[in-house]
């Protein structure tokens, strides 16, 4: 059975988001329509000051978390911006699931910040339960029923991103994605 849910995990900073971005770019080059969300660091000089969320389809950007955010759940030195997470990230995932033109739902990432939002968990679960191809980055320490269920799905395959495989992993993911999409 071709796997429909491809999960990337690994230690912080190993390159999970980079592998996903490279995979998405290669699949777009093959005509695959992609929706969903990416998270990326926000830096001020050499210092990381937060994270932002990007809607893959519309390129709309929101703040996921910041050292300057005054309210919201705290993760380390950051406070999570639930408003932008839901307005940009959740909406991006829901749109990707609902839009019949979208072939692939990208979710970066299912992690401690995102898991503070029940709406995020519902949207991610909706993507996992859909018939669409899903490639998701899962934080290596994320403890949640959503993550546990995702990792043991019969239609899921988990890839641990490591320094040794991060350069070639996107090629493997592209082939698995293309194989799945061509059979559906």
Cα three-residue angle 163-168-148, rounded to 5 degrees = 70
Q: Which domain holds residue 123?
A: 5-37+92-182
How, if at all, do strands 74-75 and 47-55 pair? unpaired
82 within domain boundaries: no
170 within domain boundaries: yes
Structure tokens at 90: 């959740």
* pLDDT above 80: residue 66: yes
74 within domain boundaries: no
User: 93-122 pLDDT, tens per residue?
Assistant: 999 999 999 999 999 999 999 999 999 999
Q: What is the DSSP string of 94-148?
A: HHHHH-TT--EEEEEEESTTGGG-HHHHHHHHHHHHSSSEEEEEE-TT--SHHHH
Q: What is the DSSP string of 21-45?
A: HHHHHHHHHTT--EEEEEEEEEEET
* pLDDT above 80: residue 1: no
Exposure string (b/e) for 55-72, b if CB count within 10 Å is 16 or more? bbbeebebbbbbeebeeb
How would residue 2 be classed by pLDDT, with cut points 50, 70 and 90?
Answer: confident
User: 118-162 pLDDT, tens per residue?
Assistant: 999 999 999 999 999 999 999 988 889 999 999 999 999 999 999
133 within domain boundaries: yes
The domain tally of the chain equals 1
* pLDDT above 90: residue 63: yes
3-class DSSP state of 184: coil
How, if at all, do strands 133-138 and 156-160 pair? unpaired
The share of the chain scoring above pLDDT 70, in percent, equals 100
As a whole number of angstroms, the distance between CA 73 and CA 144 comes to 16
Q: What is the CATH number of the domain that holds 29?
A: 3.40.50.300
61 within domain boundaries: no
55 within domain boundaries: no
Which residues make Cβ contacts (< 8 Å) with residue 44, sequence separation at least 6? none
């Amino acid at each position: 059975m071709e796997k429909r849910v491809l999960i990337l995990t690994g230690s912080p900073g190993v390159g999970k988001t980079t592998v996903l971005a490279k995979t998405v770019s290669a699949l777009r080059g093959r005509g695959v329509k992609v929706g969903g969300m990416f998270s990326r660091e926000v830096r001020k000089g050499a210092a990381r000051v937060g994270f932002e969320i990007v809607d893959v389809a519309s390129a709309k950007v929101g703040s996921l978390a910041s050292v300057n955010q005054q309210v919201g759940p705290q993760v380390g030195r950051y406070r999570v911006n639930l408003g932008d997470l839901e307005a940009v990230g959740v909406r991006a995932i829901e749109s990707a699931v609902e839009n019949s033109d979208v072939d692939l739902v990208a979710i970066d990432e299912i992690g401690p910040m995102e898991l503070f939002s029940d709406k995020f968990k519902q949207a991610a679960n909706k993507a996992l339960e859909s018939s669409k191809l899903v490639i998701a980055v899962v934080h290596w320490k994320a403890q949640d029923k959503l993550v546990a269920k995702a990792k043991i799905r019969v239609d899921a395959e988990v890839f641990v991103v490591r320094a040794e495989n991060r350069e070639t992993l996107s090629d493997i993911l592209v082939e698995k994605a293309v194989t799945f999409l061509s059979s559906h």
